[in-house]
Amino acid sequence: MKTLRDNSLTIVLVTLTLLTIGGMLLTGWSVYDHELADHAANLIGLAAYAKSGHFLSSLFENWESEFLQMSAYVMLTAFLFQRGSSESKDPDKVADQDEDPAVKQDDSEAPWPVRLGGFAQGVYSYSLGIALGFLFVLTFILHLRYSADAENAEAMMHGQPTVSIAEHVVSGQFWFESLQNWQSEFLSTAVIVVLSIFLRFRGSPESKPVAAPHAETGA
């Protein structure tokens, strides 16, 4: 039970992720088969749909925007501030936010890159942003690949010529798919940064204490 309690947030979020992917798969399959039927094309099974550009393009399109949001947020909050927000460091206490990891190099409980020092410590110091940035680039590439597949499948149904990935990456369709998600991620992040100045949610680490003054910065 202690393991479940200590990891409950991750367990619930991963479970919700899998359930919603399953729902997306089933509903997307239904939509796609109706589209195929409208064009007198052969219907496909669920396994085939799960590997199709129609499904994978939509999946990675959303993941791409989420990893862009998270990587940008992690990196921007290292240098930029919003006074009063629980999502920002206090601009008057920057020096107190994160001590030099080198002072913990001899701490047996410190992560091993910190204890190793040098290059490993330097990379580890920015590893969260690096990992999220890598996931953004990876999902961007996967979205591009399967978005091209989806466009080509649509083109073949209409007897139109197909396009290469190089042609698709400069197309309005691909960038419309990406930017419609990117703008919503930046907007939602800006909204929580600003709302957390004035509003509270008791018990959440994303909120300041209920009685904290609006000018107090940081959770």
pLDDT in tens, 18-75: 999 999 999 999 999 999 998 888 899 999 999 999 999 999 999 999 999 999 999 9
Residues 21 and 101 in one domain: no
Rounded (to 5) percent helix, strand, coil in the chain: 65, 0, 35
pLDDT in tens, 181-199: 999 999 999 999 999 999 9
Residues 217 and 130 in one domain: yes
- Taking only Cα atoms into account, the Rg of the chain, rounded to an integer number of angstroms, comes to 23
- For residues 72 and 89, the answer to whether their CB atoms sit within 8 Å is no
**The domain containing residue 44 runs over which residues?**
1-51
Residues 58 and 146 in one domain: yes
Residues 112 and 205 in one domain: yes
Token pair recorded at residue 132: 């999220």
Residues 83 and 137 in one domain: yes
User: How many domains does the chain contain in total?
Assistant: 2
Residues 25 and 40 in one domain: yes
Residues 79 and 114 in one domain: yes
Residues 57 and 80 in one domain: yes
